[in-house]
Structures are given as structure tokens and as C-alpha cells.
Structure 1
Amino acid sequence: MTSEPDEALVVDPETDATPASPSPVATPSAGSPARAARLRQVGQKSGAPFVWLWGIVSSWGGWLWRTASPYLAVVSGLGALVLTSAIVALVAGLILGWAELTVVAIALFAALGVAALFLIGRATYAVDIALNPRRVTVGERAIGRVLVTNTGKKPSTATTLEVPVGEGLAEFAIGALSPGAETEELFAVPTNRRAVILAGPAVSVRGDQLGLFRRAVRWTDQIELFVHPVTTRLHPTAAGLVRDLEGQVTKKITNNDISFHALRAYVTGDDVRYVHWRTSARTGQLMVRQFEESRRSQLTIIHSSDERYYADDAEFELAVSVTASIGAQVIRDGTQISVVTEGRILKTHSVTSLLDDSCRVEKIVGSTATPREFARESTKRLPPPSVVVIVAGSAMDAPDYRAIQRLFGGETNVIALKIEHGSRPRVQDVAGLSIVTIGALGDLPRVMARAV
């Protein structure tokens, strides 16, 4: 005999939160993964029209923005303000019924329409920017030239040409030019301080007199003007280096070199080529030659650009001039040289490259590294130096110079240059380290000759 199933055992998991059956399979809990997945499916189905509508709106909005952005780019800040005011005045006038606001809106739209007429036309120019010379010393005269040629087949309309020069802006009014005609404009470049001055790009500007619209066309790239630091010539021996074909002789003893030092008894493994046979025959035992190690001269200049060690900008500029003067003289003498500063290794394959890179040396602000840390990190990948020159401002103390000196072996000649603007030149010996105080660039040749 069969009986009907009990209706109390039929459970709907969507509507009954407390099922009669204790089985977890029959009734997933509210926080279970199965229920969360089902709820997400229901939400996606119910929200499908909104997702579809949002996709259409975003797609059309993106297309409209890409299409309109080139045209909106010609609207200046003032033009955007006028356009917004015109729209607000028109809407307010129509809603409130104020004829005055409507008239104001019409006047503003008319002004925008007239101003837009000044954008009509296409310029066909060939623009060239030249600087003469491209490299100058601080205070020397530098002249820039802008040559504009109409390369089109029709006369060009008047326009304004803008050329950024450093932190300034040179503006030139270019009149109408017949086909093939050209006009030349000159401008002066300020060279009162050491820097790399960028000139350009040249941009022609077309717009209305009210400044509502502005269409700019770029014609050239940027070019660089190097304003070198002031330098002075040093005596060829001022770097204190050995200038012979063999290199610099050190106190390190080696078994294979060219600077003879002494004789010693032969030991197993010595090269027989260095056996001194005459002495060996006289003493009755094999004697071999010993040599003093010689190496190629290598100068390393460690220039600190940390603002903590300089009293003012004049002192920092003097330090850069000192570094450039020593480096340029060493390069002229044909000696290997490395010049390092915080975050930069200056190019030294020629005098010009060194002076160009010295234009880019700027003060380091907010550094917390000690002078020893800076010197160690900046020189650890450089060739072993025979002479090290440390250049820093008046605020660096003798212990800081000594800390840098201890990074190098006793065979390395270390000279510390303390730049103190306006002070008298002097040479001070601190525990075997020569600290040379320089107050003016003209003192450098004399104090360097005394220091080495």
C-alpha cells in the first residue's frame, strides 16, 4: 500500500529559509557559493538592459569626444567661458522669459561666430631656427634666427610666430607673404648664467583679437644652446700626474713590469725570462728581477652638488668652473679622466663634451647621503685612480674630506678643493691630506701648482 508524499517535505530553497530536511545539499545557505552565483545570475539578467544602454552611451560618447576634441582644442579659456555664459543666458532667457538674457546670449554667440572666422585658412610655411653660436661661455653674446618661407602657391595671411627661449617667449608678427617669399627675424638669447637653453619649437598662432579662439601649428623641434661655465687655463703639470710612456710608477712590487726595483732569489714558478744570469753566475744561485708596478695615469674628480655644502649659488657656480677647468686641462694633456657628481657621470672624451655636460650639473636638494657614501657609490665602477680631486663647498668639513680619502689606497694622491667664494687662497695639510681653499677662479692655477 502506497501513500502520498508528505507535502511538508517538499522544500523550495528560494523561499524557505529553514528546510525540514537536514541535508546541506538540498538547501544551500544564504552565504554559500552556490547561492551567491545564482544571485549574480539573477542580477545580471535583471540589469541587462541597463548594461546594454550604458555600452551604447559610452561608445557614442567616446566617438563624439574623439571627433570634437580637435575642434575644442582651438577654444581658449576665455572662449570656453564665453560659450558657457552664452548657453546659460539662452536657457535662462527662454525659461524665465527674459528678453534681456536672450539678447545677451545672441550677442555672445555672434561674437564667437565672428571670432571663429579668423581661424579660416591653412598656412604653408617652412620655418627654420638657428642659433649662432650653439656654444657660448657665460656672458657671451648669442643670437637666434628664425627664417619663415611661404612654400604654398597662394599668398599667406598674417600670423603670429611664437618661439619659446628658455623660460621666456619670443613673439614675431609675420606679415602676408607671397609664394616663395621669406622673412627673417632675430632674437637675443640670455646667457647670464650657466645652463642648457632650449629654443623652440616654433609655433604659428592664428586667432582673433579677443583671444576667444587660438589655433597653433608646430613647425620645428627644439634646439639646444650650451652656456658653458667660465674656465681658466692651468699649467700642464698642475694635475700632478706622471706623463711618460710607461705610466705612473707605484710602490707595489711585481714580477712583471718595466720599472726595475731589485733582485731576489729564484723560487719555483718564476718566469725564467727575468732571471739575471750575470748575478746568478757570480752568487752561485739563480736570481730574478723584481719590478715596481706601473699603471696608466687616471684622474678622478669627485664633484659634490649637494646644496648642504654650499653657502650660496655663487659658490656653487665657482665649484663647477673649478671642476670644468681642471677636467678640460687634463683632457688636453691626454690623461684618462673621470668626472662624477650626484646621479651623473660627465662625458670626458673631449673638452667640448665635458663642458656641455657641465652645463647640466644642478644642485641636489634633499639628499641625505654622506659624502663618503656618495663617493663610494659614484666611483665603484670607475678605473682605479692615481689622483683624486674632491670639489665641494665651504660647508664641507675636513672629516668629510678625510672619509673620502680613506676610500682609496695609500698610493692614490688625493687633493681636496674647498670652494669658499671671496676668501683668500690657502693650502692646509690635515693628516696627510691637502685641503686647498679657493676663493676665486683666478686663484686656481697658482694654488694647484702649490698643492701638487
Structure 2
Amino acid sequence: MLTRSGAGMIAAATGLVALGVWADYPELVTLGLAACGALLVAVAWLVVSPKLTVVREVRPRRVFEGSAAQGTLTVTNVGKRNSPPLMVTETVGGHRTTVTVPALTAGHRCTVSYPLPVARRGRYLIPPVELGHSDPLRLLHRGRASGSELVVHVYPRVHLLTMISAGGPQDTEGQTTSSAPLGGVAFHSLREYAPGDDWRRIHWGATARTGTVMTRHVVVPDEPRQLVVLDTASPPYAGAQFFEEAVRVAASFCVAAERSSLPLQLRTTGGALRESSGSALEFLSTVDSSGADRGLAALTDLVRDVVSDTQGVALTIVTGRVDAQATQLLMSLRARFLSVSLAQLVSSDSAVPARPRGVLAVAAPGSEQFATHWNRLVLR
């Protein structure tokens, strides 16, 4: 590929030769031919490409907004001739980052590190890096792709939130369910041994009777589940920035549940469902709002299968401004849950947000202010 210098050299060569022939000026023709010779040397230089191996790493592959991700490139000259300086181009989310790798003698390597522009939440597909080098006069440039595609997830920024104490203490001899988290001390049932099970939990009596290795299935009983519902409809939010803040609040609740070792389920009014903090954060890195989403009008159908007789559920709804119809709906659902919390991300200069009776409601214009107000209210 021609560089600006190369294009100028071609123009100069053409002009000099033409002017020299027209003016019968041999010296100008000679200068034009010299310029052509320089271009031919540049072509020959690039034809014999150096033999290089490239190893690229991106760490970490999962970061939170505001954190830094870094690319590391190790280039090794495995050929017999020296390699010229290289220009390495990394493309992330439409932004191009160019890094220079110095000239390498045969058998030597160089490692360079560079920051990646991953400031906003999202799923970034990073294509192979582009390795490029030029001739000594920088007339031509040759590039080639190296490595494989990588994916980097940028999670929403999270804030420290205090979980509401609901459901009472975790009773080691309380009721249990097959879906309860493993790792507790409460016996639920006997089941067939699976690779990786603790051999100390093998029930030898049942094993002898059935002829199959049986183990005790122990779980954490009487543990309230945390259900976080993110409103992904566009109308409740005064602008895209308020939806972004709502996503951060939902992510903060997911992380808070994980820190408290509470079972978590994240749902959106659009119908998406995630069962753990890790998968919830990965989903929240790409979630978007939609005008076709029913919003909180779909809440009754959304939670119909959630409440059971053996486990309580603490419901947290993250949305924008709540209208009168949604307020009545939340109050009607209150009796079905251990607690109902309402997080509203609204403009500070708008009307007073709704506060449904029996619902812990906190409103704020941003996720950081919400965390401050929430923690102050819960801890008082």
C-alpha cells in the first residue's frame, strides 16, 4: 500500500520524466528515473518479508467500567534477517490503537504493552492485530493480520450495597429443596454418587442395599432468594443515561447478593433470565432498552413461577419513573414476597417519585447517589 510519501514519489517521478522529455532536459529525466528506482527498491524490500511469530494476550478479559484492560504483544524474529520496525494496530470498538515495535535482529523478541479503549460497558470483539512494516524511505507499507479474535466483556460499574435482612436466619435443620444451593450441612435426600462428590458423604448402608454407590445430598436450607427485575422498556427513563444508571444499580444488587452468599436470579421485563452473578453481569454488559418492551406491565406474568411454599423471595425492581398503574401493581404483589424494593433512576428536577405502600422505594438520578441513599436507609 502506498504511503503519502510513496504517492508523492510517484507524482515526482512522473512529473520529472515528463518535464525532462518535454524540455529535452536529461538531468530531469535522470532524477525521475532515480525516483522510480527508489520505488522499485521499496517493492523489493517488502517482497522479502521478515519471518515473525506473534503472541497476543488481553488481560483481564472481564473488567468493570472504569477499570483498565491491557493488551500485550510478544513478537519474535524467527528468520535469518533483521526485521524493520513494525507498526501494530489494534482495533477495539471502532477505535484504532497503534503501537511501535522496534527493529529486531534474528532470534530476538520484543514485548510491548498498550492500553485498550474499553471505557464503556459492552461486549468487545477484538479482531486479529495488524502487523505492518515499511521500507527504509517509508514509501510503501505492508500489513498482515496476526493472531485470533478475542472477546472482552466490560461489566457495568457496581457500588457497594447492603442487602435487606429478610427471611430469618439460615436454619441448618430447616426445610430444604432440591434446587437449594449445595455446600450446606442440611440433609435433603440420597442420590447416586457423581464424580467429584465428597467420598465422606457416601451412605454405605444404602450402597449395600441398592448395589449402587449412594451419597447424601446436603444443601443450604431456608435461604431467601433474591430476584432482581430490570425494566428494559424505554418510556420509564428520561434519557439513555438514566437507563445506564439503572443497569449499574441492577449489577450492584447482583454483586451484593453474591457477596451475601444468597441465591440470585436476574430477570428483565423483556424476558431475559440469568441465574448467577457472573452470568448476570455478562448479560448486563450488553443489555439494551426497547420501545417495544411491555415494562412493568409484564411483571405479574414475569414472577408467576417464582414464589414457592418452601423458599421466600425478596424482590427488587430497578426502573425509571413509575406510573400510578405500576404503583398499584407493586402494592398488590407485596404479600407474595418477603420484601419488595423499588429502585427508581429519575431526574432530580422531576416530580416526586412514587412510593408504593409497603415497598421500600429509593429514587436517585444516578447509581452512586442511589447507593448512598439506599445504604443510609437500610442501615439506619
TM-score, normalising length from structure 2? 0.63
Residue aligning to 2:264? 337
1: distance between equivalents of 2:68 and 2:271?
A: 29
Residue aligning to 2:376? 446
Residue 444 of structure 1 deviates from its aligned partner by 2.2
Seen in structure 2, the aligned counterparts of structure 1 residues 315 and 222 have a Cα distance that, compared at 3 Å, is same
Residue 391 of structure 1 deviates from its aligned partner by 0.6
1:162-177 equivalent positions in 2, closer than 5 A: 162-177=89-104
Q: Is 1:387 paired with 2:314?
A: yes
Residue aligning to 1:410? 335
Q: Which amino acid aligns with 1:399?
A: Q
Residue 176 of structure 1 deviates from its aligned partner by 3.2
1:7-406 equivalent positions in 2, closer than 5 A: 116-117=43-44, 119-206=46-133, 215-236=142-163, 238=164, 240-245=166-171, 246=174, 297-341=224-268, 345=272, 347-349=274-276, 351-361=277-287, 363-365=288-290, 367-372=291-296, 374-375=298-299, 386-393=313-320, 395-403=321-329
SS at match of 2:47: coil
Seen in structure 2, the aligned counterparts of structure 1 residues 325 and 212 have a Cα distance that, compared at 3 Å, is same
Residue 214 of structure 1 deviates from its aligned partner by 6.2
Seen in structure 2, the aligned counterparts of structure 1 residues 174 and 234 have a Cα distance that, compared at 3 Å, is closer
SS at match of 2:335: coil
Residue 327 of structure 1 deviates from its aligned partner by 1.5
2: distance between equivalents of 1:364 and 1:113?
A: 56
Residue 381 of structure 1 deviates from its aligned partner by 6.6
Q: Which amino acid aligns with 2:363?
A: T
1: distance between equivalents of 2:289 and 2:45?
A: 48
Post-superposition Cα deviations, 1:6-48, rounded to whole Å, max 9, x if no partner, equal: xxxxxxxxxxxxxxxxxxxxxxxxxxxxxxxxxxxxxxxxxxx
Q: Which amino acid aligns with 1:147?
A: T
Q: Which amino acid aligns with 2:374?
A: L
Q: Unaligned stretches of 5+ in structure 2? A: 7-21, 23-28, 177-220
Q: Unaligned stretches of 5+ in structure 1? A: 1-73, 80-98, 249-293
Q: Which amino acid aligns with 2:265?
A: S
Check the 8 A contact 1:342/1:374 in 2, yes or no.
Answer: yes
SS at match of 1:308: coil
Check the 8 A contact 2:118/2:154 in 1, yes or no.
Answer: yes
Residue aligning to 2:216? none
2: distance between equivalents of 1:239 and 1:152?
A: 65
Check the 8 A contact 1:299/1:336 in 2, yes or no.
Answer: yes
Residue 165 of structure 1 deviates from its aligned partner by 2.7
Seen in structure 2, the aligned counterparts of structure 1 residues 223 and 247 have a Cα distance that, compared at 3 Å, is farther
Check the 8 A contact 2:91/2:97 in 1, yes or no.
Answer: yes
Residue 206 of structure 1 deviates from its aligned partner by 4.8
SS at match of 2:103: coil
Residue 202 of structure 1 deviates from its aligned partner by 1.2
Seen in structure 2, the aligned counterparts of structure 1 residues 372 and 165 have a Cα distance that, compared at 3 Å, is closer
Q: Which amino acid aligns with 2:58?
A: L
Residue 346 of structure 1 deviates from its aligned partner by 5.7
User: Whose RCO is larger (CA < 8 A, sep 6+)?
Assistant: 2
2: distance between equivalents of 1:379 and 1:178?
A: 65
Post-superposition Cα deviations, 1:215-245, rounded to whole Å, max 9, x if no partner, equal: 5422222334443333233335x16343423
SS at match of 1:430: coil
Q: Which amino acid aligns with 1:220?
A: G
Larger Rg: 1
Post-superposition Cα deviations, 1:125-155, rounded to whole Å, max 9, x if no partner, equal: 2222233444443333443322211133443
Residue aligning to 2:345? 419
Check the 8 A contact 1:423/1:438 in 2, yes or no.
Answer: no
TM-score, normalising length from structure 1? 0.54
RMSD: 4.5
The range that moved more, 207-216 or 307-316, is: 207-216
Seen in structure 2, the aligned counterparts of structure 1 residues 437 and 156 have a Cα distance that, compared at 3 Å, is same
Seen in structure 2, the aligned counterparts of structure 1 residues 194 and 131 have a Cα distance that, compared at 3 Å, is same
Residue 389 of structure 1 deviates from its aligned partner by 1.3
SS at match of 2:55: strand
1: distance between equivalents of 2:299 and 2:67?
A: 34
2: distance between equivalents of 1:150 and 1:378?
A: 58
Task: Figure out how many residues of one structure are paired with residues of the other and give that number.
Answer: 309
Q: Which amino acid aligns with 1:445?
A: N
Q: Which amino acid aligns with 1:411?
A: R
Seen in structure 2, the aligned counterparts of structure 1 residues 206 and 401 have a Cα distance that, compared at 3 Å, is farther
SS at match of 1:306: coil
Check the 8 A contact 2:229/2:269 in 1, yes or no.
Answer: no
Q: Is 1:436 paired with 2:362?
A: yes
Check the 8 A contact 1:126/1:150 in 2, yes or no.
Answer: yes
Post-superposition Cα deviations, 1:303-347, rounded to whole Å, max 9, x if no partner, equal: 013332222343223212221122112122222221122557464
Seen in structure 2, the aligned counterparts of structure 1 residues 124 and 402 have a Cα distance that, compared at 3 Å, is farther
Check the 8 A contact 2:83/2:103 in 1, yes or no.
Answer: yes
SS at match of 1:410: helix
